[in-house]
């Protein structure tokens, strides 16, 4: 228990600042970028320590403290909408004793009344709120930060199990909440397709679900067969007062998907027994769960218990303890990433773990490896952090071999023998040789990826050969490849070679500065930041001439990103690469919105939505025309929409736009609006 002081000392202030930044970092990774670096237990421990500090010294708590937040920031690229009723999070617990503590708190809150609990599966997916009006699905919002979320209605409508219209016996207005997820079998199906195309497979169902819901093209979403289960009704709107069990039965009667694995428990012993049963039974399911959710069944008792600013008091999540297995550490290898980072990797004797066979596990960095003192030949304990990432916890001391020796920290890159360099601000060792073959292969794969230069046919096997035969030493060399040289490679016939050469030519015309900046792999510059920099500076020359204050003043570009951009363009080898890419004919500029006097530009300031099957334009081309002329391309129709560009087989967007009185344009109409001949 922390002791309270009138004012926190400097150590407490520093610890609070570090914890606050750390929790916000991991919040953003999980909710916005859909990935994790630490386990749920580690995150909860840090958040709990932060809350304890603020409880002891209230002056430390500021309005932006992570302890006052429900979740992460809304995703970018969709209209943000305020939830009618906030989507609160759920407190987590990890042990039988903590479940009993929860039960004791509930009974105290009910003045000794004994509740009935409903225990259901905690799906590992993306939380969603569905809003029905006049029995029609009108809106689907992600949780976002709990107060406001992203409107992903068009994407959610592609989920086959969601009824677009409720039956007449359902309330006309209804808001239900649940979890969107992807089955394990569906992930395997998608990965077979990606691997056949030479693309990197998706890592896990949860992250793939989150990424799918962020896609702006609902046609692509429809190809991924997402699933959903609903588990909560927002009170009001004509829905009858009911227990949780009765509410689920009503939802099922309305044709809404409800998970069958829900059990009523009359006491906490039965709750614990059910949780323990699913600790092992979860691997029988075709979808991932990471725990159980325990809810008070009676609505009147829920009202009496109420909620904190963060979570209801009548519900708690029991998170499964990570499954731990022992196996032998056969070897430690070193991987070199596209930025030159050297990462130790544990090569393990295959072991079944959380439903998969684990053979390898990242050891993160060499400081972590030394701290854990892992040695080749050790018997080690392995778990999956957050049921996703294999993680080596420790070695078993009594099983250590006398011949085991500490793993030496590399003084040279294992691929090119260049002396390693340690970053002054973190624990990462790097190879600083930009010509390192391992780095080069990773950089070429990134440069060719869909969000970068989108070079079709540039798969891992081809990149391996190009680097091994020294045909390509940097991205600029790709544009010097011709059909005869490519035909000399394995599994590369004349047609495949010609197609690749054409793809390289096409990307010169079709990809702009934002794609190139992302493809260059500048540290800390992701896809969104690359687009921001391209729009702000307009050309790579202007960006290269920018100083630190100018860069830091750009939205979403802070001190770290600015310094990373400066370091990249201050490097002579990178300057030479940019010149060579320019000489190869790549586009090093970004089209800026055309400044036209008011009245002469019918697109400036207008909001457009595009729908239906197009024949004259691609969707991206229409969006580009709109942005170039100062308009806005939106994903859904609303009262703010000025124009709907409708192709063939336009559906619900056309109906809604017509009902709202939005001006409907054919592709020919849009072309005339551009001032171009039809």
User: Encoding tokens for residue 414?
Assistant: 């294992």
In angstroms, the Cα distances linking 503 to 443, 449, 454, 498 are 18, 12, 9, 9
Long-range contacts of 19-22 (CB under 8 A, 24+ apart): 19/46, 19/49, 19/50, 19/53, 20/50, 20/65, 20/66, 22/46
Phi, psi of 353 (to 5 degrees): -150, 120
Joined tokens for residue 598: 């008011």
* Residues 542, 562: Cα–Cα separation, whole Å: 14
What pairing do the DSSP bridges indicate for beta strands 117-123 and 289-296?
A: antiparallel
- For residues 367-404, one letter each, b for 16 or more C-beta atoms within 10 angstroms of the residue's C-beta and e for the rest, the string is eebeebebbbbbbbebbbbbbbbbbbeebeeeeeeeeb
What the block records as the tokens of 635 is: 């994903």
Per DSSP bridges, beta strands 341-353 and 325-336 are antiparallel
Name, in order, each residue with C-beta under 8 angstroms of 511's C-beta and a sequence gap of 6 or more.
452, 453, 454, 586, 587
Rounded-to-integer distance, Cα 157 and Cα 481, Å: 44
Q: Which residues are catalytic?
A: 122
User: Tokens for 353?
Assistant: 């773990």
Residues in Cβ contact with 139 at an 8 Å cutoff, skipping those fewer than 6 apart:
81, 130, 131, 151, 153
Q: Is 179 helix (H, G, I), strand (E, B) or coil?
A: strand
């Amino acid at each position: 228990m922390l002791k309270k002081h009138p004012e926190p000392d400097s150590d407490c202030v520093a610890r609070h600042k570090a914890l606050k930044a750390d929790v916000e970092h991991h919040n953003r990774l999980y909710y916005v970028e859909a990935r994790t670096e630490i386990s749920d237990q580690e995150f909860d421990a840090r958040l709990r320590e932060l809350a304890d500090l603020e409880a002891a010294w209230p002056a430390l708590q500021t309005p932006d403290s992570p302890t006052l937040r429900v979740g992460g920031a809304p995703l970018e690229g969709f209209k943000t909408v305020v939830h009618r009723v906030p989507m609160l999070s759920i407190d987590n617990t990890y042990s039988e004793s903590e479940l009993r503590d929860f039960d004791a708190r509930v009974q105290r809150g009910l003045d000794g009344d004994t509740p009935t609990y409903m225990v259901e599966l905690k799906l590992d997916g993306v939380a969603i709120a569905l809003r029905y009006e006049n029995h029609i699905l009108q809106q689907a919002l992600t949780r976002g930060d709990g107060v406001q979320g992203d409107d992903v209605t068009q994407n959610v409508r592609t989920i086959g199990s969601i009824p677009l219209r409720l039956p007449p016996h359902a309330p006309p207005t209804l808001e239900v909440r649940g979890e969107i997820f992807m089955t394990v079998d569906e992930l395997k199906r998608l990965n077979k397709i990606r691997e056949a195309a030479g693309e990197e497979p998706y890592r896990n169902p949860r992250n793939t679900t989150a990424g799918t819901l962020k896609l702006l093209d609902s046609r692509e979403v429809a190809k991924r067969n997402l699933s959903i289960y609903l588990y909560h009704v927002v009170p009001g709107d004509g829905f009858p007062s009911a227990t949780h069990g009765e509410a689920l039965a009503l939802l099922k009667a309305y044709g809404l998907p409800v998970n069958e694995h829900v059990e009523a428990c009359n006491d906490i012993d039965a709750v614990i027994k059910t949780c323990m049963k699913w600790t092992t039974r979860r691997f029988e399911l075709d979808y991932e769960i990471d725990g159980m959710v325990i809810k008070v069944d009676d609505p009147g008792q829920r009202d009496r218990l109420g909620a904190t600013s963060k979570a209801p008091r009548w519900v708690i999540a029991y998170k499964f303890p990570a499954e731990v297995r022992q196996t032998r550490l056969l070897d430690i290898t070193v991987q070199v990433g596209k930025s030159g980072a050297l990462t130790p990797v544990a090569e393990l004797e295959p072991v079944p773990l959380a439903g998969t066979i684990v053979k390898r596990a990242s050891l993160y960095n060499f400081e972590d490896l030394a701290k854990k003192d892992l040695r080749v030949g050790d018997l080690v304990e392995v778990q999956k952090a957050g049921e996703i990432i294999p993680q080596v916890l420790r070695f078993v001391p009594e099983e250590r071999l006398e011949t085991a020796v500490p793993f030496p920290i590399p003084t040279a890159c294992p691929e090119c023998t260049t002396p390693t360099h340690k970053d002054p601000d973190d624990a990462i060792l790097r190879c600083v040789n930009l010509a390192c073959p391992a780095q080069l292969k990773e950089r070429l794969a990134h440069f060719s990826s869909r969000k970068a230069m989108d070079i079709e046919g540039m798969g891992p096997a081809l990149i391996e050969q190009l680097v091994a035969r020294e045909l390509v030493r940097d991205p600029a060399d790709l544009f010097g490849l011709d059909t005869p040289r490519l035909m000399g490679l394995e599994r590369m016939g004349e047609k495949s070679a010609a197609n690749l050469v054409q793809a390289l030519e096409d990307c010169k015309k079709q990809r702009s500065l934002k794609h190139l900046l992302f493809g260059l792999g500048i540290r800390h510059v992701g896809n969104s930041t690359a687009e921001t920099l391209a729009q702000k500076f307009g050309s790579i020359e202007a960006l290269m001439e920018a100083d630190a204050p100018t860069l830091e003043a750009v939205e979403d570009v802070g001190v770290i990103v600015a310094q990373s951009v400066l370091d990249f363009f201050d490097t002579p080898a990178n300057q030479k690469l940019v010149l060579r890419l320019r000489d190869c004919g790549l586009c090093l500029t970004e089209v800026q919105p055309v400044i036209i006097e008011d009245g002469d530009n019918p697109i400036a300031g207008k909001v457009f939505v595009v729908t239906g099957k197009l024949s004259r334009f691609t969707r991206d081309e229409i969006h580009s025309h709109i942005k170039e002329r100062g308009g806005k391309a939106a994903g859904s129709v609303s009262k703010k929409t000025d124009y709907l560009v409708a192709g063939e087989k336009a559906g619900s967007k056309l109906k809604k736009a017509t009902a709202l009185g939005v001006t409907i344009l054919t592709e020919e109409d849009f072309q005339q609006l551009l001032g171009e001949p039809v």
